[in-house]
Amino acid sequence: MSNQAVVKRQEALASMCDERARMLQDQFNVSMNHLQALAILVSTFHHSKNPSAIDQTTFAKYAERTAFERPLTSGVAYAVKVTHAEREQFERQQGWSIKKMYSSKKKSSPGPGDAASSEIREPAEEYAPVIFAQDAYKHVVSFDMLSGYEDRENILRARASGKGVLTAPFKLLNNRLGVISTYTVYKYELPPNARPQERIQAAIGYLGGIFDIEALVDKLLHQLAGKQSIMVNVYDTTNDSPISMYGSNDTGDVMYHVSTLNFGDPSRKHEMQCRFMQRP
Ligand code: WA2
């Protein structure tokens, strides 16, 4: 190939990749905004009304009917803050007990201090059991989201910051690869400059969106022309070793282009890598 042809090809790849990255980012952003709106809905109709105007059936129905607003999510769930002192009464009211997400033998990730901890565990200070979920994720109701490493980190970061936060891609309870986005519900409206400590104190619940990256990114890319000719990989590049969020390990052409992605959580980094399927 002539030099000029190579440049042309690189330019074509860059524009196709940037277009895909922009589309994905926009849909991610739209989905995140609607999760925030859903958190406000729960605040208004569950916490600010006595008795609550939302139950599991109402939540599931509303979430299902507005699912088109969150194009990259396959479900939503809502967990409430329960202190250890409140646990018994909460469980009696719900008619079920709070469950741990993973058995202690197979934990998603060891936490600090685990090696030193004895056989008998201290009861947790607080819990975040799921009380509402879209039907596809009904199986997470009653599970304590503070008992899973990724979910816990997300909740702690979300409530201290007041912003929407994301996990790295990880294997969900349904065994699929996913990313969870969390928004906090507070007891009262907080000023934008509220201190983390004040936010933590005022937190009462956590609205989570489940991003099914594999299935939904695939659907999105299939809507684009020329998808047969281009190979797309999406990575979480927050840590030194990138985690694949989408795409195959196919080799493809040597020429590649990297488009940056912004999913709205400044503490996580993502990128899209594109290659032509065929060598020239
Ligand atoms: N939702 C569904 N499946 C999961 C999961 C989860 N988290 N974690 C592991 N598998 C209620 O951030 C609050 C949802 C967590 C929200």
77 CA to centre of ligand 1 in angstroms: 7
Across 71-87, average pLDDT: 98
- Tens of pLDDT, residues 185-208: 999 999 999 999 999 999 999 999
In angstroms, the CA 231 to CA 20 distance is 11
> Whole-number mean pLDDT of the chain?
92
222 CA to centre of ligand 1 in angstroms: 27
In angstroms, the CA 78 to CA 128 distance is 9
| Centroid of chain to Cα 99 | 21
Give CA torsion, residues 20, 22, 24, 28, to 10 deg. Answer: 180
Closest-CA residue, ligand 1 atom 5, reads 172
Strand 82-83 versus strand 165-166 pairing type: unpaired
Check if 137 has its Cβ closer than 6 Å to any atom of ligand 1: yes
Write the Ramachandran bin of 133: left for phi over 0, alpha for psi from -120 to 50, otherwise beta: beta
Across 232-241, average pLDDT: 96
| SS3 at position 3 | helix
pLDDT over 80 (residue 175): yes
Check if 173 has its Cβ closer than 6 Å to any atom of ligand 1: yes
Question: ipTM score here?
Answer: 0.99
In angstroms, the CA 9 to CA 4 distance is 9
pLDDT of residue 228: 67
In angstroms, the CA 267 to CA 167 distance is 10
- DSSP H helical ranges for 1-69: 3-42, 56-65
pLDDT of residue 20: 93
In angstroms, the CA 76 to CA 45 distance is 17
17 neighbors 253 (Cβ within 8 angstroms): no
pLDDT over 50 (residue 113): no
What residue has token string 């201090």? 113
19 CA to centre of ligand 1 in angstroms: 30
Supply φ then ψ for residue 4, to 5 degrees. -65, -40
206 CA to centre of ligand 1 in angstroms: 10
Check if 148 has its Cβ closer than 6 Å to any atom of ligand 1: yes
- Tens of pLDDT, residues 114-154: 444 445 667 889 999 999 999 999 999 999 999 999 999 99
| SS3 at position 192 | coil
- All domains of the chain in start order, with CATH: 57-114+122-216 (3.30.450.350)
Write the Ramachandran bin of 142: left for phi over 0, alpha for psi from -120 to 50, otherwise beta: left
Strand 230-236 versus strand 203-211 pairing type: unpaired
Q: Could you tell me the two tokens for 67?
A: 């699912």
